[in-house]
């Protein structure tokens, strides 16, 4: 192993890591022609550079995965499960390092955020490990002279493309079910956050997955990403990212009719009825849009509050966010809100804040933007008295910015909540059981949270409708999405 494929990094928490920077293809670390620098969003300093996969390296990875699939698909489910369990254990052993790498590369506060991402990844690896030998098909009743059964078989070679807001966690959502179901994979990280996935590749290697089963690459979306999406040697594509890129991927994937799963953008409405527990609504609303600096696909970035409790909610919301959402360095224990991930995202969010002001929304909090220190820091920002036609109500901001509006009736708020191109999640706060169920029935979204916000479980399906995506991840459907049904007809004596 060449040392140039690894780099010693000094982390802000005092630890040193040996960070892989190459491409993990066919069980080996390799270099390529192009490199990309990755930046620490808290300091704007370059952390290191990583090698980028071009089309040639993607071709290599596909060839390796196709080869590996011939044997991997014959491996018993219990053995696949056992390897996933070992991978979970290895990840657990490295939890502190992985959390620190995630924090330095993405800006997530290490203790209050990044660590939870790694814990979630470990839990999902174990959950999927349990599935690996329990993926059943069915026997179909076809009469006495025939036996027909449908098996669930792996799709084959899967291309997986992940975003920067939950770099390792989103990768886990794709890697764990794909391997449990017997597929081989090529996964590509996002440009701004390649490090945690490369570190994780070492653990994949260490626990002994056969070479070529898991290929982990860094690469540009427009080069490696689009080549994965259109590659004729890949059978399925799973993507998490923006709606715009999701739509491009759907087109590219049509070249060989790949199965696709798309987890795209959102603009989740959060409805507070007058009978709600306001203190609880305030706390959930805050965590749902300020956590992870608002870079959450299910972020409840539009809040609708019934007129009777509107001012009370706003007052308490502001008080709570001020007190509990401290902006600061990802390596300070008290930090809840870190910097946003990149300069581009920083500018994009600040532009939206400007547009909010220009379009006449009332800024309740957030005017004191950070200008003095380095880093892509944005204060939690609350806009009130918003209207449906405002840009900040319509478009996904993906920052710690929320638009609050007032409503009068249930019909009115349902119409407003559904008035969006997105349909990922919606939240409803009320103590009225009938209303809660009626409202959840009427919301055009893939997920509804009653009296909470995004607190999904790995056991339950996760996914959106409309322009928020196609298909589900997590839970049993998240495993099934990595299988095909193969129907076998057995003639039990019917002669022609």
Q: Which residues are catalytic?
A: 263
Note whether 249 binds ligand NAD by CB under 6 A: yes
Among 22, 265, 330, 399, binds ligand NAD (CB under 6 A): 265
Cα(211)–Cα(204) distance, rounded to whole angstroms?
Answer: 10
Q: Which CB atom, from 29 or from 164, has the smaller least distance to Mg ion?
A: 164
Could you give the CA distance from residue 464 to residue 423 in angstroms, rounded to a whole number? 6
Pick from 32, 38, 218, 468 the residue near Mg ion by CB under 5 A. 38
Query: Based on CB atoms, which residue is closest to ligand NAD, 52 or 404?
Result: 52
Query: Judged by CB, which is closer to ligand NAD: 297, or 479?
Result: 297
> 140, 489 in Cβ contact below 8 A?
no
* 105 lines the binding site for Mg ion (CB under 5 A): yes
Q: Which residues contact 202 (CB under 8 A, 6 or more apart)?
A: 20
Binding mask 291-310 for ligand NAD (x = CB under 6 A): ------x-------------
- Binding flag, residue 106, ligand NAD (CB under 6 A): no
User: Phi, psi at residue 284, to the nearest 5°?
Assistant: -70, -40
Task: Give the Cα separation of 241 and 245 in Å (integer).
Answer: 7
Reading the block at residue 352, the tokens are 């939206």
> Which string of x and - marks every residue 191-210 that binds Mg ion (by CB under 5 A)?
-x------------------
Half-sphere exposure of 308 (CA within 13 A, CB side): 7
CB 294 within 8 A of CB 303: no
Is residue 456 part of the contact set for ligand NAD (CB under 6 A)?
A: no
Residue 49, Ramachandran bin (φ over 0: left; ψ between -120 and 50: alpha; else beta):
beta
Given a contact cutoff of 8 angstroms between Cβ atoms, the answer to whether 487 and 145 are in contact is: no
Dihedral sign, CA of 58, 64, 69, 72?
Answer: negative
What residue 11 binds from Mg ion, ligand NAD, none (CB within 5 to 8 A, per partner kind)? none
Nearer to ligand NAD, 231 or 406 (CB): 231
Whole-number Å distance between alpha carbons of 450 and 429: 6
Tokens coding 40: 């620490």
Helices (H) and strands (E) in the chain, counts: 15, 24
- When asked if residue 266 is in the footprint of ligand NAD (CB under 6 A), the reply is yes
Among residues 331 and 462, whose Cβ is nearest to Mg ion? 331
Per CB under 6 A, 399 contacts ligand NAD: no
Of the candidate residues 11, 62, 68, 190, the single one contacting ligand NAD (CB under 6 A): 190
Given ligand NAD, Mg ion, none, residue 38, with its beta carbon under 5 to 8 Å by kind, binds: Mg ion
Q: Does 453 bind Mg ion (CB under 5 A)?
A: no
Determine the Cα–Cα distance for residues 63 and 15; give it in Å rounded to an integer. 37
Closest CB 116 distance from ligand NAD, rounded Å = 15
- Which position among 109, 156, 212, 225 is part of the footprint of ligand NAD (CB under 6 A)? 225
How many residues make contact with ligand NAD (CB under 6 A)? 30
Sole window of 26-34, 95-103, 109-117, 223-231 interacting with ligand NAD (rule: CB under 6 A): 223-231
165 part of the interface to ligand NAD, by CB under 6 A: yes
- Of 30-38, 83-91, 239-247, 279-287: span binding Mg ion (CB under 5 A): 30-38
What six digits make up the tokens of 395?
């478009």
Task: Name the residue among 169, 148, 177 with its Cα closest to residue 77.
Answer: 177
Kindly state the DSSP code that residue 462 receives in the 8-state scheme. B
Among 27, 109, 163, 194, binds ligand NAD (CB under 6 A): 163
The CA distances from residue 446 to 62, 270, 471, in Å, are: 32, 14, 9
Q: Which range of residues in 195-203, 204-212, 261-269, 280-288 is near ligand NAD by CB under 6 A?
A: 261-269
CA distances from residue 195 to 113, 198, 333 in whole angstroms, order as listed = 17, 5, 22
Q: Enumerate binding residues for Mg ion (CB under 5 A).
A: 38-39, 105, 192
Q: Enumerate binding residues for ligand NAD (CB under 6 A).
A: 161-165, 170, 188, 190-191, 221-222, 225-226, 229, 240-242, 245, 248-249, 263-266, 297, 396, 398, 424, 464, 469
């Amino acid at each position: 192993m060449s040392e140039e494929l690894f780099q010693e990094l000094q982390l802000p928490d005092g630890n040193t890591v040996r960070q892989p920077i190459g491409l993990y293809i066919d069980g080996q670390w390799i270099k390529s022609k192009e490199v990309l620098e990755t930046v620490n969003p808290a300091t704007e300093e370059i952390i290191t550079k990583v090698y980028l996969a071009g089309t040639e390296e993607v071709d290599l990875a596909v060839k390796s995965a196709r080869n590996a699939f011939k044997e991997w698909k014959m491996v018993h489910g219990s053995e696949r499960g056992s390897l996933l369990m070992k991978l979970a254990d290895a990840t657990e052993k490295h939890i502190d390092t992985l959390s620190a790498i995630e924090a330095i590369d993405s800006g997530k506060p290490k203790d209050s955020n990044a660590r939870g991402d790694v814990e979630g990844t470990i839990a999902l690896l174990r959950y999927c490990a349990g599935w690996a030998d329990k993926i059943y098909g069915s026997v179909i009743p076809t009469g006495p002279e025939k036996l027909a059964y449908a098996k669930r078989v792996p799709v084959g070679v899967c291309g997986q493309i992940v975003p920067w807001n939950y770099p390792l966690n989103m990768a886990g959502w794709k890697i764990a079910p794909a391997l449990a179901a017997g597929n081989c994979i090529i996964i590509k990280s996002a440009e701004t956050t390649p490090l945690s996935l490369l570190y994780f590749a070492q653990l994949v290697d260490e626990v002994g997955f056969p070479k070529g089963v898991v290929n982990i690459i860094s690469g540009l979306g427009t080069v490696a990403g689009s080549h994965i999406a259109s590659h004729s040697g890949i059978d399925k594509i799973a993507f998490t990212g923006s709606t715009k890129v999701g739509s491009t991927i759907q087109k590219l994937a049509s070249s060989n009719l790949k199965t696709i799963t798309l987890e795209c953008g959102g603009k989740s409405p959060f409805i507070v009825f007058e009978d709600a527990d306001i203190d609880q609504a305030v706390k959930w609303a805050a965590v749902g849009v300020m956590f992870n600096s608002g870079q959450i696909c299910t972020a409840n970035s539009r809040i609708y509050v019934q007129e009777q409790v509107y001012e009370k909610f706003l007052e308490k919301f502001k008080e709570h966010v001020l007190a509990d959402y401290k902006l600061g360095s990802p390596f300070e224990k008290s930090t809840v809100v870190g910097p946003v991930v990149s300069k581009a995202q920083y500018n994009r969010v600040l532009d939206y804040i400007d547009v909010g002001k220009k379009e006449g929304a009332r800024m309740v909090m957030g005017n004191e933007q950070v200008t003095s220190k380095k880093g892509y820091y944005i204060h939690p920002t609350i806009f009130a008295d918003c209207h449906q036609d405002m840009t900040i109500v319509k478009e996904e901001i993906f920052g710690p910015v929320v638009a609050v509006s007032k409503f009068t009736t249930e019909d009115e708020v349902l119409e407003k909540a559904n008035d969006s191109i997105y349909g990922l999640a919606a939240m409803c706060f009320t103590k009225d059981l009938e209303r809660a169920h009626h409202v959840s029935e009427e919301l055009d979204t893939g997920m509804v949270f009653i009296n909470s916000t995004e607190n999904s479980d790995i056991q339950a399906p996760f996914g959106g409708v409309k322009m928020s995506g196609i298909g589900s991840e997590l839970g049993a459907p998240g495993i099934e999405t990595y299988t095909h049904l193969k129907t076998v007809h057995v003639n039990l004596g019917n002669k022609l």
